Structure 1
Amino acid sequence: MATFLYARVSTTEQTLHHQRTQAEASGFTFDHVIADHGVSGVTVKMRDRPEGKRLFDMLRAGDTLVVRWIDRLGRNYEDVTDTIREFMRRGVTVRTIINGMVFDGQTKDPMAAAVRDALIGFMAAMGQAQAEATKEAQRAGIAAAKAKVVEGVPAYRGRKPSFSGLHVKQVRELEAKGMGVSEIARTTGLSRQTVYRIKEDPAGAETALATWNLMGEPAV
């Protein structure tokens, strides 16, 4: 029986170090630490993440999976609930650092199982709702900032892209050839997080380049 820590690091504030330190402060020790970096919990299913797939392959009956909170597994209701139920069917116990929740498939009492499943569904739905609310707030804030013009130049342009128009074209071509994210990153010299960003929203990537007048310019 082994204990795993799974961390999904989607922003600079959600570091692996922070999630591991918080887990250890709560009394957990680990045989394996597995982390996906720069992966959206909304659009990329657990099984489709490089390390998420490896976690599925490694977990065995009697193992314990520790996550900071359910949203580290993802922010898509169906994917998160399916993932937890699959782990429980395998005999894996899922534990959260925040709130100390424990989910397993040991109970045979139908009422207890119903309460457990309802709680899983509620937490998964909350994670998706929070992600959608955050995205909507960001869209509203960006729209408001774009509406403000300072000396004829939009006040908001977002972060300067670390990629070029050529990079966007390369990513789309390599993806069409069936190449994985890690291989695309090595081929183009981009980070995996940047590759994911371009894959998920190529139109947005091109818009960012156009906003900074970087279409066709080399990356910096």
Structure 2
Amino acid sequence: MTKGKVYGYVRVSTAQQHQDRQYIAIKKYGVPEENIFADRQSGKDFERPGYKKVVETLQENDTLVIKSIDRLGRNFDDLLDQWRHITVEKQAGIIVLDMPMLNCGLDDQLMARAIGQIMLIVLSYLAENERITTRQRQAEGIAAAKLRGVKFGRRAKEIPVEFENVKAMWREGRCSATAAARMLGVDFHTFKKWICEGR
């Protein structure tokens, strides 16, 4: 079997995070720097320019190297689809540096590749389940906080002391609602909201 090219993919979720650790590990594996693609984007889906480019670049017998499975993606179903797309449809290999048991390199025996795919399914399920559990805990925490009287969202804008005088001017027709709002330093909708609330 002719050995293809080796590519790398790195991803961080925010601009504040650094990709250095992933770059170092992937280059140490032997991936040329010009073959490493990167994204600064969430892993919730695969609509990422760097990822799409590296997958488009992969040819049969090439290998994609990633530092850890969550750098590829976090959504269980999409992750499995992408894994199949790369290893089955494109006939390329995948190396996960932090999880050698997942490695689906082209020199592996059929059984080793099958075990790698099974392990991916198990680990992806656990990752997705943790994401769902975390979201549920957050929702439960918010509900409990609301029961304790904790208020969420932006704090209501405080009404200026001159509101009553300006409101009286507006009611007497001495100024428009827009002019009244301007005098109070708020927008038209806020002024009307205060009026409707009977303030």
Q: Is the shorter-chain TM-score for this pair beyond 0.5, marking a shared fold?
A: yes
Counterpart of 2:42 in structure 1: which amino acid? V
Correspondence 1:174-193 to 2 at 5 A: none
Structure with greater Cα Rg:
2
Does the 8 A contact of 1:65 with 1:93 survive in 2?
yes
Q: Which residue of the partner structure matches residue 37 of structure 2?
A: 34
Distance 1:114 1:29, change over 3 A: closer
Asked if the contact 1:68–1:98 (Cα under 8 Å) also holds between the matched residues in 2, the reply is yes
Q: Which whole-Å deviations, capped at 9, do the CAs of 1:3-39 have from their partners, x for residues lacking one?
A: 2221222246753223223444xx3232322122223
TM-score between both structures, scaled by the size of structure 2: 0.60
In the alignment, which residue of structure 2 is the partner of 1:133?
Answer: 133
Aligned residues, how many?
149
Aligned residue in 2 for 1:58? 57
- What amino acid is the match of 2:135? K
Seen in structure 2, the aligned counterparts of structure 1 residues 77 and 23 have a Cα distance that, compared at 3 Å, is same
Structure 2: which 5+ runs fail to align?
A: 155-188, 190-199
- 1:177-201 CA-to-partner distances (Å, cap 9, x unmatched) read xxxxxxxxxxxxxxxxxxxxxxxxx
Among all aligned residue pairs of Structure 1 and Structure 2, give the percentage whose two residues are the same amino acid.
Answer: 27
1:5 equivalent in structure 2: 8
Deviations 1:142-181 (A, max 9, x none): 455556668xxx4x659xxxxxxxxxxxxxxxxxxxxxxx
Aligned-CA RMSD value:
3.1
Q: Given the two structures, how large is their TM-score scaled by the length of structure 1?
A: 0.55
- Tell me the equivalent position of 1:100: 100
* 3-state secondary structure, aligned to 1:39: coil
CA contact (8 A) 2:63 2:105 kept: no
- Separation of aligned partners in 2, 1:145 and 1:21: 43
Q: Deviations over 1:61-115 (max 9, x none)?
A: 2222111221211112221112112211223111112133411466564x54542
Aligned residue type for 1:20:
Y
In structure 1, C-alpha distance between the alignment counterparts of 2:14 and 2:138, rounded to whole Å = 15
Alpha-carbon contact 1:107-1:113 (below 8 Å) kept: yes
Task: Identify which of structures 1 and 2 has the higher relative contact order when contacts are C-alpha pairs closer than 8 Å and 6+ apart.
Answer: 1
Q: Do 2:64 and 2:94's aligned partners in 1 also have CA atoms closer than 8 Å?
A: yes
Corresponding position of 2:174: none
